[in-house]
Amino acid sequence: MYAFIRRADGPVTRDEVAGEVGISRKLAAFHLDKLAAAGLLRTSFARPGGLRRAGRTPKRYEPAEVDVQVSIPPREHGLLAGILVNAVNSTPDDAAARAAFRAAGEKGRELGAAERAAARPGRLGAERALTVASGFLERSGFEPVRATPTQVLLRNCPFHPMAAQARELVCGINHAFLTGFLDGLGAVSATAVLNPSAGHCCVELRASGTAR
């Protein structure tokens, strides 16, 4: 249910959720309100498209802007990442940032090559390259959305907490990482571009040569 709501383009109703997961509206309402009480969903009351008609206005649900992580025993990866980001930003020149971008690109190429070895996709045209890349992006928490056959938007930035702290650095690392991934994948027909927009990751994937 939660995954469906995150993939939706806007708030969804109990009926829509129930139909998607194949349960009763009453059971969907029970679980949706539990998720809302836990702070994972926001609720509102509105009709689709602002329509006005008789009857009760349906309750609608959308993801809350929260990060949820579970680790047993606790691990403070975010604390370490914050320390490293501060260290890079405190360097008087940009040598540390360049080293971070280089390391991100190398890691991306390593993972891209591993994905190619596992998928064995053969020669990759733009659309096929973006399909293969989307599988990796989905598993890595980017929540890819195929906006067009030759464009993939990313609903989520897995590095969001650090991006809020040092946007230029973290977005640059993300861009270098995804560029390296496409290189390792052998996807010369696709490219990663920096294109920040509200509600999406700062990077998107598209066919090489596609205009912004």
- 25: domain CATH number? 1.10.10.10
105 and 197 share one domain: yes
Residue from 88, 89, 140 nearest 114 by CA: 140
Is the residue at 42 inside a domain? yes
For residues 34 and 111, membership in a common domain is answered with no
- pLDDT greater at residue 197 or residue 88: 88
60's tokens: 């609608």
Q: Indicate whether 32 and 137 sit together in one domain.
A: no
pLDDT at 53: 58
Please indicate, yes or no, whether residues 51 and 97 belong to a single structural domain of this protein: no
Domain boundary among 18, 47, 63: 63
157 has a pLDDT exceeding 70: yes
pLDDT tens profile 103-153: 999 999 999 999 999 999 999 999 999 999 999 999 999 999 999 999 999
**Which pLDDT belongs to residue 7?**
85
Report the distance separating Cα 169 and Cα 98, nearest Å: 10
* Containing structural domain, residue 182: 93-207
Are residues 106 and 194 both part of a single domain?
yes
Q: Which residue has the higher pLDDT, 54 or 143?
A: 143
Residue 88 has pLDDT above 60, yes or no: yes
Query: C-alpha 90: how far from its chain's center?
Result: 28
Q: Check whether residue 200 and residue 126 sit in a common domain.
A: yes
Count H helices and E strands in the chain, helices first: 8, 7
What is the side-by-side order of every strand in the sheet holding 12-13? 12-13, 59-63, 41-45
DSSP state at residue 141: T
Q: Is residue 197 part of a domain?
A: yes
Going by pLDDT thresholds of 50, 70 and 90, the confidence category of residue 167 is: very high
What pLDDT is stored for residue 1 in this prediction?
A: 93
pTM for this prediction? 0.78
- For residues 51 and 150, state if they share a domain: no
Per-residue pLDDT, 52: 58
Q: How far is residue 165 from each of residues 66, 82, 83, measured CA to CA in Å?
A: 16, 8, 11
Task: Centre a 10 Å sphere on the Cβ of residue 147 and count the other Cβ atoms it contains.
Answer: 12
Per-residue model confidence (pLDDT) at position 55: 61
Answer whether 144's CB lies under 8 Å from 138's CB.
yes
Look at the chain and report how many structural domains it folds into.
2
- Name the token pair of 152: 């993939």
Q: Which residues contact 72 (CB under 8 A, 6 or more apart)?
A: none
Same domain? For 33 and 99 the reply is: no
Q: What's the chain's average pLDDT?
A: 90
- Of residues 65 and 97, the one with the higher pLDDT is 97
Taking the C-alpha atoms of residue 212 and residue 39, their distance in angstroms, rounded to an integer, is 36
Residue 87 lies in a domain: no
115 and 188 assigned to the same domain: yes
Assess if residue 77 is contained within a domain.
no
Residue 85 in domain: no
Share of the chain above pLDDT 70, in %: 94
Question: What is the structure's pLDDT at 160?
Answer: 83
The arithmetic mean of pLDDT across residues 170-184, rounded, is 97
Q: What is the pLDDT of residues 6-38, one digit of tens each?
A: 888 889 999 999 999 999 999 999 999 999 999
Mark whether 112 and 180 lie in a shared domain. yes
Most confident of 49-63, 65-79, 153-167, 183-197: 183-197
